[in-house]
A and B are shown apart, each in its own frame.
Chain A
Amino acid sequence: MTEALHEISLTVNGVVRQARVPGRRLLSDCLRHELGLTGTHVGCEHGVCGCCTVLLDGAPVRSCLTFAVTVDGHEITTVEGLAGPDGSLSPVQRAFSECHALQCGFCTPGFLCTATALLRDNPTPTDDEVVEGISGNLCRCTGYQNIVKAVHRAAELMGDEA
């Protein structure tokens, strides 16, 4: 009962990576265990909590509901790829820290990826748009108030830098 392995090649955080994975390997497990990118977390394994959210060709997806073999040839951005090459934090990362938008930090990578895509598509969201935009991610620590604040703050920082 040895499983067939599939060779895949994907661009993760700007770097081309190869992996040999069984067909059933989840993208979340592939990122974490095959590629050593453990910043992407798994909270529920069925696409509800959003901890595992990564950007697939720029769009937020649940990596726990995605088979690794299906992203062969695609581009993935994980939380490890949000900061600049020199380690400078992105506006979203800075805003999360500044606004105390994280406590245990387990859900944070998913929120950061979600907010990054949200602000790219809508650089000046209203309060309702922010709440709606992050309403697919669970946080058990913060009560969301400071996360909402951080997304607005990130929009402000991006506006200042534009």
Chain B
Amino acid sequence: MTTKLFGEPVQRREDRRLITGQGRYVDDLGGNALAAAFVRSPHAHARIRDIDVSAALDVDGLVAIYTWEDLPERVRDPLPLLIPHPALTHGRTAYPLAREIVRHVGEPVVMVVARDRYLAEDAAALIEVEYEFLKPVVGIEEAAQGAHLVHEDVPGNVGAHLVQEVPSPQGRSAGEAIDAAPHTLSFRLDFERSASMPLEGRGVYARWDADDRSLRVFSSTQTSTSVRMAIAAKLGLPLPSVEVIAPDVGGGFGVKIVHPWPEEVLVPWAAMLLGQEVKWTEDRREHFISSAHERGQVQHVRVGFDDEGHILGLEVTILHDHGAYTPYGIIVPIITSTQLLGPYRIGAYRVEFSSIYTNTVQVTPYRGAGRPQGVFCMERTMDRVAAHLGLDRAQVRAANFIQPDEFPFDQGLIFQDGRPLIYDSGDYPESLRMIKELIGWDGFAALKAEAAAEGRRLGIGLACYVEGTGVGPYEGGHVQVTSDGRVHVSTGLTSQGQGHETVFAQIAASELGVPLDSVSVVTGDTRRFGYAVGTFASRAAVMSGNAIALACRKVRDKALRIAGEALEADPRDLEIEDGVVRVAGNPGASIPLATVAVLSNPLRYAFDEETKRATQFTGVASMDRPPVDEGDEPGLEGRDYYSPVRSTFASGMHAAIVETDPDTAEIRILRYAVVHDCGNLINPMIVEGQIHGGVAQGVGGALYERMVYDGHGQLLNASFMDFLMPYATEVPFIETAHLETPSPLNPLGIKGAGEAGVIPVSAVIASAVEDAEGITIDRMPISPSELYELRDRPRS
């Protein structure tokens, strides 16, 4: 790497357009498109008796109204179940428009297309849908009792049931290990629903070219390649005739990995049928009631441990509420149940989950994707063990750590990618040392006593996590150097603000030895790269970053070979710096990469002065070889893929000091510290930004955000006025420190960083509030009024 850019806090290249109002989000496009709006179910569970559209027909500007009955074959079928799993014995997905039954408030029933959105909503408001009410199933434990069913053919509302067991090294089951342990505890934990809640909702804009019989779709998605395949299949179009582009996307955080949404099928279908551009932009209420939520679990824990706090056996039984449908399979509870173990070596482990249907919005991954619940469970357990034994909480954690010389460490479970849960690298004792130092763990007792003397209540909390990142199956990268010397990089996965244009350019510039400014990066555009999986699971930097690096290495090898011929030098003696190939130690012998690009493509026709060099009468070519050698290709470009044998495991530890108000029970975070290890850092500024944003979402999840459903399945707080996301006034200053334990699994030695910030926050805050109050905290989020009530509850 001749140009040192990898590892530098390079300014983002995305920023210029975004700070000048020149970003291109879906709703910024298609100014003349027709607008779609949807009539959605106001009931959580009902049978559709009749749909009367007659009153809507007079609305000025109305173009079309569609119900399920109007949809053709394939389009009318249930949406795909994206991730099948043998344990998901009763997977169910929604129809794009409800057929007979609606199963949650917000389910789309009728699609309206009109000249603009105002008129489409006018028409939608005049459509009368007659419903016969069915009993709504709300609340995870009520649902699990199975007295009423969400789907008639799913007994007990159980979509999936999965058990994983890891016996102790002595061959004891978790139950046996717990029974034989000197100390045992059992308790229940609750974690409420929240949601990704990107500030830009979903959106789809479709252009059908009737002459060309091709379709171009812009979607605010985390996976344009997969949306493309789904649309082509649903609409019966040849794949090459469909292009899907994720333009600027205003945040995703998981919810936009779900696809195809009903609207992603219906909007392109309507555009084809009508022969006109159609666009749908989700409004905020629709996002609350029609997209997806996450978190939401009840956990029962039984743990056995010795006098030093070593966990000898752990049994966890999880009830997971997955809402009305399971398009994303059981990824969330699988992650909870496997990532729960964190940085610890547990004697014997048994985890069992039931994934349960309710008449609520479907549950699919939200940043952290099941890990915050798992970490909450494990870390609450550690705190309980410490409290029971009267030991320091950090000490109990340290007693259970996997040691640095134990990697790779096999946890004996199957992870979300269907592969063994084997940690690749890490240094947990060092992380703990760093976080204790950063927050001042050892000096806190004095600080707390000092505050107590003034009538103030302070508490400190700590939580550790391990995060499987960079899951497969693969990503690819394409790198092309054109005859102007510019480097064009593309990868199929999408961006929602992570700064991929910058970090991928850093990787390419470092690998190729070219100036950063000569590199441009395109993501999420199937016109440029058709093979990809998507952006989720903190995988973009690991997957596409490495794929782009590998593609660059191919290009570099080819450039050195061609330059070697031109300079009559051994390619092994060449280096590339600032876009120029040089003979090392002989500055006079050099050739610009732009010229190498020209020479790489033997021409018959010159198109400018520079390209004359590559034409056929220049006399530079060997007469003994064809212009393009066997096995070679014209052009200075390369494509490669990165497909890991398994995930790479980032880790970290967070600590916080909180103050609780003795009178009002207000909870204030005084300090928040993060130690983070995602292997080699590509751009520390961007990694820190990811951590800040994650922690802010974690603070929301710990203290403010919850989805409040009433017994009828109505979401009572489906607006930003009522669903409380943190403003600047609620998020503490975040102190960070980095540890870099490179991953041995990939060429760049990197691990994912996108989700890390959010994962342990609820566990940390619970730990700190418990320390401040001396009251057991067993459910999150916690509001001041809940803390106030807890103070009156008899101590357990």
Contacts and interface: CB of A to CB of B under 8 A. Distances in A.
Quick one: which of A40, A136, A143 has the most chain B CB within 10 A?
A: A143
A146 B60 contact: no
A144 interface: yes
B21 A140 contact: no
Interface string A67-101: 00000000000111011000001000100111010
Interface stretch (B9-17, B308-316, B345-353, B636-644): B9-17
Contacts of B19: 79, 89, 93, 96-97, 102, 105, 108, 112
B21 A38 contact: yes
Interface residues of A, number: 59
Contacts of B22: 39, 80
Contacts of A1: 58-60, 122
B38 interface: no
B11 A98 contact: yes
A136 B730 CA distance: 12
A136 B20 CA distance: 21
Contacts of B497: 102-106, 141
A140 B199 contact: yes
B199 A43 contact: yes
B273 interface: no
Quick one: which of A32, A38, A107 has the most chain B CB within 10 A?
A: A38
Interface string A141-156: 1111111100000000
B692 A148 contact: no
A44 B352 CA distance: 39
Interface string A106-120: 111100100000000
A147 B251 contact: no
Contacts of A138: 199, 720, 725, 727
Contact of A105 (B250, B253, B283): B250
Quick one: which of A36, A42, A98, A103 has the most chain B CB within 10 A?
A: A103
A143 B200 contact: no
Contacts of B16: 97
B295 to A, nearest CB: 16
Contact of A145 (B20, B116, B283, B734): B734
A150 to B, nearest CB: 10
Nearest to B253: A140
B693 A78 contact: no
Contacts of A142: 689, 692-693, 696
A134 interface: yes
Contacts of B729: 131-132, 135
Contact of B498 (A93, A103, A106): A103
Contacts of A49: 199, 720
B28 interface: yes
Contacts of B31: 33, 36
A109 B21 contact: yes
Nearest to B22: A39
Contacts of B14: 105
Contact of A100 (B25, B60, B685): B685
Interface in A14-49: 22, 24-25, 32-33, 36-46, 48-49
A2 interface: yes
A55 interface: no
Contacts of A121: none
B686 interface: yes
Interface in B248-267: 248-251, 253
Interface of A is mostly: loop
A137 interface: yes
Contacts of A43: 199-200, 250, 284, 720
A161 B731 CA distance: 31
Nearest to B16: A97
B499 interface: yes
Interface string B137-162: 00000000000000000000000000
Interface in B699-726: 719-721, 725
A137 B250 CA distance: 15
B584 interface: no
Quick one: which of B20, B21, B253 has the most chain A CB within 10 A?
A: B21
A160 interface: no
Given A39-B23, A43-B284, A146-B689, A105 B728 contact: no
Nearest to B29: A38
Contacts of B11: 97-98, 100
A22 B733 contact: no
A43 to B, nearest CB: 4
A43 B697 CA distance: 17
B720 A103 contact: no
A130 B247 CA distance: 32
Given A39-B23, A49-B720, A89-B19, A147 B12 contact: no
Nearest to B59: A1
A143 B696 CA distance: 5
Quick one: which of A32, A48, A136 has the most chain B CB within 10 A?
A: A48
B20 A83 contact: yes
Contacts of A83: 20
A107 B22 CA distance: 13
A138 B725 CA distance: 8
Interface string B477-492: 0000000000000000
B118 interface: yes
B696 A144 contact: yes
A46 B198 contact: no
B379 interface: no
A87 B251 CA distance: 27
B36 to A, nearest CB: 15
Contacts of A2: 60
A83 B11 CA distance: 19
Contact of B721 (A42, A48, A145, A147): A48
A144 B60 CA distance: 44
A136 B250 CA distance: 19
Given A48-B721, A144-B692, 4 more contacts: A39-B20, A41-B199, A97-B19, A104-B248
20 contacts: A22-B118, A43-B284, A46-B719, A48-B721, A89-B19, A96-B19, A97-B19, A100-B685, A102-B15, A102-B19, A103-B497, A104-B248, A105-B18, A105-B23, A106-B199, A106-B251, A135-B727, A136-B727, A138-B199, A147-B728
Counting from the closest, the 3 A-B pairs by CB-CB distance are: A39-B21, A104-B497, A106-B250
